Amino acid sequence: MGEQQYNYLIVGAGLFGAVFAYRARKAGKRCLVIDKRSQLGGNIYCENIEGINVHKFGAHIFHTSNKQVWDFVNSIVEFNRYTNSPVANYRGKLYNLPFNMNTFYQMWSVKSPAEAMAKLEEQRAKAKALLEKAGVVEPRNLEEQALLLIGEDIYETLIKGYTEKQWGRKCTELPAFIIKRLPVRMVFDNNYFDDDYQGIPIGGYNKLIDGLLEDTEVCLKTDFFEDRDRLTAIAEKIVFTGAIDEFYNYRYGPLQYRTVSFETTIEDTTNFQGNAVVNYTEREIPFTRIIEHKHFEMFGATLESCSKTVISKEYSAEWKLGMEPYYPVNDERNNNLAEKYRVLAAKEKNVIFGGRLAEYKYYDMAPIVEKVLQMEI
C-alpha cells in the first residue's frame, strides 16, 4: 500500500462496503477495501462444497419490493426464482410457515378461513381473559404479547421453544416489543415474504460481491485496529462497517450480541429434508434449524443430478468478546449504550458508519443496498 492516497478506506468487504466501493468507483473515486477475514463477502460468503454453494454464515435470501434495488443487484449478477417457504418441525410433526391456512389445517384440521379465524379468536380471548384476571393491562413480556396475538397452541408449538433457543432467555424474560406483530394469512400460501422480488444470485453470493468489487483494490487478512494510524492516514475518509463500540475502544463498555455457530456436514443423499430451511421449534433440541444449501439454487433434475447434499445445523449462543457478533440485543440497556456511541459517530467528519455492526441495527440485505444507493458519494 505504501504512501498511496485514496478517497475512501472501506473497512469491511461485506455487502455495505462492496456496494459503497462499487458506487465510489463509478463516481471516479479511488478506494481501498480491507477485511480481517481471508475472503470477501462478510457473512454472505459462500463456500463451494461438492458443487454446492454453502452459505457459511447462515441462510441469506434476498428479498425486496424496491425495483431499483432489485434491478441494481441483477445488473451485477442474475438472480434465480427461489421462494422462501420454511417448514417447522415440532416433535416430528411438520408445519408450514409463515402462519397460513396450511399451518392452521395442520394445527386444528380447519379447512376454511372462517373456521381458522374462529379458532384464533377463541384462543386470543382465552389469553386476554387470563391476563385480565391477573390484573395485567398491557403485556409485560414476549410470552404475554404472543399469546394475545396468536393464542396458546401456535405459541407453544411454533414460537416458544425456538425463541428461547434463539435468545438464550425464557420468553417471560424477553421484552414484549420483540413481537410487535405476527403475520397471519388466511390463504394457502407458504411464501414467507410479502416482497415483490426474491431470489438467490445464480452461482452464489460470491458472484455478487466479486462483481461489486471488480477493479477495486482489496487487502484481505488486514485488521484495521492493528494498524489504525497508518491506514487512517492513507485515505481522505473512512467507511467503517465493523462494530461501533470497538471503533471507540469500548469507551462506554461493550455492546451485547447473540452469536451463531454452525455444524456443517456432507450427507450421502441427493435430498436430505426436501426444503432449504427447517426450523426445530422444541426447546429440547439444541439447534434452531437445519439449512440444506442445495435447495437455494438447485431445482428438479438439477437437484437430483447432484448425488450429495450439504446441511448445516445452526446453534444460537451468547456472544463474548472475540466471537463473531450476529444479532444486536435490542433491550433497554443495549439501546441506550448504542445511542451513546451513535452520538460520537455523528460528530465524525471523515468517518461514515454503515451496516448492522456499525449502526447496531439488524438489517436484511436489500435495505443495506437501498441505503448505499441513496448516499452521496
* Cα→Cα distances 228→73, 216, 247, Å: 32, 21, 10
Active site residue 314: yes
Count CB neighbours of 101 within 10 A.
20
What single-letter DSSP state applies at residue 1? -
Query: Which one is catalytic: 181, 226, 230, 376?
Result: 181
What sections of 27-158 are H helices per DSSP?
A: 67-76, 101-108, 113-133, 142-150, 152-154
Euclidean distance between CA atoms 186 and 312, whole angstroms: 32
Query: Which one is catalytic: 37, 169, 258, 342?
Result: 258
Secondary-structure breakdown of the chain: helix, strand, coil percentages, each rounded to the nearest 5: 40, 20, 40
The per-residue b/e assignment along 28-48, b for 16 or more CB within 10 angstroms, e otherwise, is ebebbbbbebeebbbbbbbbe
Query: Which one is catalytic: 314, 326, 359, 360?
Result: 314
Beta strands (DSSP E) in the chain are: 6-11, 31-34, 46-49, 52-55, 62-64, 87-90, 93-96, 197-199, 217-219, 235-240, 257-267, 277-280, 289-292, 309-318, 327-328, 351-353
What are the DSSP calls for 292-335, one per residue?
Answer: EGGGGT--THHHHHS--EEEEEEEEEE--TTSPP-EE--SHHHH
Active site residue 226: no
Query: Which one is catalytic: 23, 25, 289, 356?
Result: 289
**First and final CA of the chain: distance in angstroms?**
23
Active site residue 245: no
Longest distance between any two alpha carbons in the chain, whole Å? 72
Active site residue 362: yes
Nearest to 291 by CA among 317, 265, 319: 265
CB 224 within 8 A of CB 247: no
Euclidean distance between CA atoms 372 and 354, whole angstroms: 9
Query: Which one is catalytic: 153, 210, 364, 370?
Result: 364
343: CB partners within 8 A, 6+ apart: none
Active site residue 304: no
CB 213 within 8 A of CB 22: yes
Cα 56 to chain centroid, rounded: 13
Active site residue 138: no
Active site residue 185: yes
Query: Which one is catalytic: 22, 185, 246, 363?
Result: 185
Query: Which one is catalytic: 121, 228, 250, 362?
Result: 362
Residues forming the active site: 181, 185, 258, 289, 314, 362, 364
